[in-house]
């Protein structure tokens, strides 16, 4: 079985593949630091909840945008799962050619999403990831990562509202019944959700216009991606496990 790990700014998402089948996923917060033993023991216990023993794991791959937890996390994986993880980064085969001005600036999470989207849906394709930040990455028909847009995520915008204003409360992020809000909570929800929908549609249209790729597919992933995807026809596919699938595909490309 293959153990895949996506370390984001908010959560660590784990997945286990049996061949090409994703058999389980679970999450931990990435903002709370742990020792290698804590990571290892928590992973073991979470796997056991799905009747997966450590000796059933024979491979591991990790993509991370949080460098300061990597030593403890990888040490825990090595000690408790008995596998040496492949870290997505320089020298790892991906099948995607990065042709931006500074390829080293492209985060491993975005590369993994690009691989998953291109391999599953082909190109040209625009990949949207609604995470802590909202990212838009364009991959050509030839598998070239040619452009990327980064915007504040919905949660970042929401946090700014309730932390930087004296009277606005912390709220659940969801689509209100109407944009014509008549009280504080639904007015904030309307601004956040409809604002994100508007941003998403404008950026997709502008990318299509400036790239000239009228046949461009659009796929979305990430925690809040489903809410946005359901509200616009410009996103063709919402794929909740796109990043994990990208990790599996990269592992296979490097397995030899």
Active site residues: 109
Q: Using the structure block, give the residue that is written with the tokens 């979305």.
A: 220
Q: Exposure pattern of 167-186 as b/e (b: 16+ CB <10 Å)? A: ebeebebebbeeeebeeeeb
**Cβ-contact 27, 12 below 8 angstroms:** yes
Q: Within 1-153, where are the H helices?
A: 36-48, 70-81, 108-121
Strand pairing class (97-98; 144-152): parallel
Task: Compute the distance between CA of residue 253 and CA of residue 60 in angstroms, rounded to an integer.
Answer: 13
């Amino acid at each position: 079985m293959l153990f895949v790990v996506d370390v984001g700014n908010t959560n660590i998402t784990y997945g286990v593949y049996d061949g090409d089948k994703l058999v389980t996923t679970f999450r931990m917060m990435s903002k709370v630091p742990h020792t290698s033993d804590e990571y290892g023991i928590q992973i073991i216990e979470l796997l056991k909840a799905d009747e997966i023993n450590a000796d059933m794991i024979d491979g591991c791959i990790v993509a991370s945008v949080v460098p300061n937890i990597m030593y403890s996390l990888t040490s825990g994986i090595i000690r408790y799962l008995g596998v040496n993880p492949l870290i997505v980064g320089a020298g790892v085969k991906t099948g995607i050619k990065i042709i931006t001005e500074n390829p080293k600036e492209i985060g491993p999470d975005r590369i993994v999403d690009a691989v998953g989207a291109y391999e599953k849906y082909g190109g040209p394709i625009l990949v949207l990831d609604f995470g802590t930040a909202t990212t838009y990455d364009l991959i050509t028909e030839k598998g070239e990562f040619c452009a990327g847009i980064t915007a504040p995520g919905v949660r970042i915008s929401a946090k700014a509202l309730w932390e930087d204003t004296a009277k606005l409360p912390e709220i659940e992020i969801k689509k209100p019944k109407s944009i014509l809000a008549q009280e504080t909570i639904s007015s904030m929800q309307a601004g956040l959700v409809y604002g994100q929908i508007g941003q998403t549609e404008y950026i997709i249209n502008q990318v299509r216009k400036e790239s000239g790729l009228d046949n461009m597919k659009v796929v979305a992933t990430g925690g809040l991606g489903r809410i946005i995807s359901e509200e616009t026809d410009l996103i063709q596919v919402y794929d909740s496990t796109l990043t994990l699938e990208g990790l599996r595909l990269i592992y296979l490309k490097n397995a030899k």
